[in-house]
């Protein structure tokens, strides 16, 4: 090896050592998450930084964080922001810029973030500094053939041409509440095309107005009656809340389909006259089936596995005035009725099999629960509870 080459290698080694030393000192002084943010900014995918900011906001929200966190020390977002302000760099500027937008419920803290960002001259990405210029340009609804899940899909474009698609799934089996949220780093056209290919015949898409999309999602945010399920989608809540506030108002929320009583009566007449329904042709079983039809979406002709689980998972005898023997046969009547209903609505055999598998799995636990409640009912109210 020539002397010149050795000198060049030694010079490069000293340069690399200085860089490592500088990087180590910098890393020791920088606040938490800066390395992670640096990694996120190295990719042309804004969604993950938006998720990080949204998750931080929710972690500092007492009604959301208090029940989930086991830490004795609550997360203080104001203290975290102060650390970001004390460590000026491209990474903290980007996070401060996003927090300034997503902090919709706090007047002082977002203003501190904005002032700090406006006074810095580092090369934070334009999409983060100008997040307020996000443009939502299209909404669609993805519906499952069984009707219990709708996904509202919103296409947005950020400064710099970055495309994102927000997918908010709404569960109509319980209060039309939000079930899941996904933010995709692709255009809505690509997202819909991929879902159509992968979803098969059970999914369908229809365009909806941005105003209706806002109304549906707002309804889903407001509907949970049990505070809170703490599914992972709650980490997106701050971002979803901010996003829908930027959509047009005065849209129409989801409306549960109205039941046509005469049509339901005619259908039940046909069922109880059929070979599968004839063994249950009595007033008690008709009343029991009507109660089962009122579960989930209320659609008599479509039964998902989730709806069956809900219908058989909440056995109750204290508010029913029918023989215990009839109540115990709820799994049997569903096992007979679901194939009949799906034949009427054209639901494919695979989905029917999934629903019936849940009936079989839950039959014995359901009956045990009914018998336990009946025994308690007799203890409280005597032998008449039978």
pLDDT digits (tens, 9 = 90+) for 5-21: 555 555 555 555 554 44
pLDDT digits (tens, 9 = 90+) for 292-341: 999 999 999 999 999 999 999 876 665 557 788 899 999 999 999 999 99
Give the chain's end-to-end CA distance (angstroms, integer): 98
CB-based burial label for 46 (10 Å; 0-12, 13-18, 19+): buried
177: which strand partners? 171
pLDDT digits (tens, 9 = 90+) for 143-193: 999 999 999 999 999 999 999 999 999 999 878 899 899 999 999 999 999
pLDDT attached to residue 339: 98
CB-based burial label for 216 (10 Å; 0-12, 13-18, 19+): buried
């Amino acid at each position: 090896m020539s002397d010149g080459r050795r000198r060049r290698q030694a010079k490069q080694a000293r340069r690399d050592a200085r860089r490592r030393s500088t990087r180590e000192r910098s890393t020791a002084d920088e606040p938490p998450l800066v390395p992670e943010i640096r990694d996120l900014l190295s990719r042309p995918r804004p969604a993950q930084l938006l998720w990080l900011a949204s998750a931080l906001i929710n972690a500092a929200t007492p009604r959301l964080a208090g029940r989930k966190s086991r830490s004795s020390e609550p997360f203080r977002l104001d203290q975290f922001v102060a650390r970001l302000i004390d460590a000026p760099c491209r990474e903290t500027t980007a996070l401060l810029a996003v927090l300034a937008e997503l902090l919709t419920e706090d007047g002082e803290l977002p203003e501190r973030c904005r002032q700090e960002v406006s006074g810095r001259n580092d090369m934070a990405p334009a999409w983060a500094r100008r997040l307020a210029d996000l443009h939502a340009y299209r909404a669609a609804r993805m519906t499952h053939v069984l009707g219990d899940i709708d996904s509202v899909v919103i296409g947005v474009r950020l400064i710099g041409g970055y495309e994102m698609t927000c997918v908010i799934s709404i569960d109509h089996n319980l209060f039309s509440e939000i079930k899941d949220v996904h933010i995709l780093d692709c255009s809505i056209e690509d997202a819909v095309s991929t879902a159509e290919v992968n979803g098969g015949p059970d999914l369908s898409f229809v365009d909806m107005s941005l105003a209706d999309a806002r109304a549906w999602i707002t309804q889903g945010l407001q509907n949970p009656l049990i505070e809170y399920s703490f599914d992972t989608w709650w980490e997106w809540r701050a971002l979803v809340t901010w996003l829908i506030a930027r959509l047009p108002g005065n849209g129409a929320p989801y409306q549960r389909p109205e039941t046509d009583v005469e049509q339901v009566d005619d259908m039940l007449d046909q069922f109880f006259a059929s070979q599968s329904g004839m063994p249950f042709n009595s007033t008690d079983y008709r009343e029991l089936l009507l109660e089962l039809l009122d579960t989930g979406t209320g659609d008599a002709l479509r039964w998902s596995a989730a709806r069956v689980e809900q219908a058989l998972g909440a056995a109750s005898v204290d508010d029913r005035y029918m023989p215990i023997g009839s109540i115990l046969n709820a799994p049997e009547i569903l096992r007979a009725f679901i194939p009949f209903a799906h034949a009427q609505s054209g639901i494919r055999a695979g989905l029917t099999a999934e629903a019936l598998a849940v009936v079989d799995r839950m039959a014995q636990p359901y009956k045990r629960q009914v018998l336990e409640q009946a025994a308690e009912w007799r203890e409280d109210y005597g032998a008449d509870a039978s």
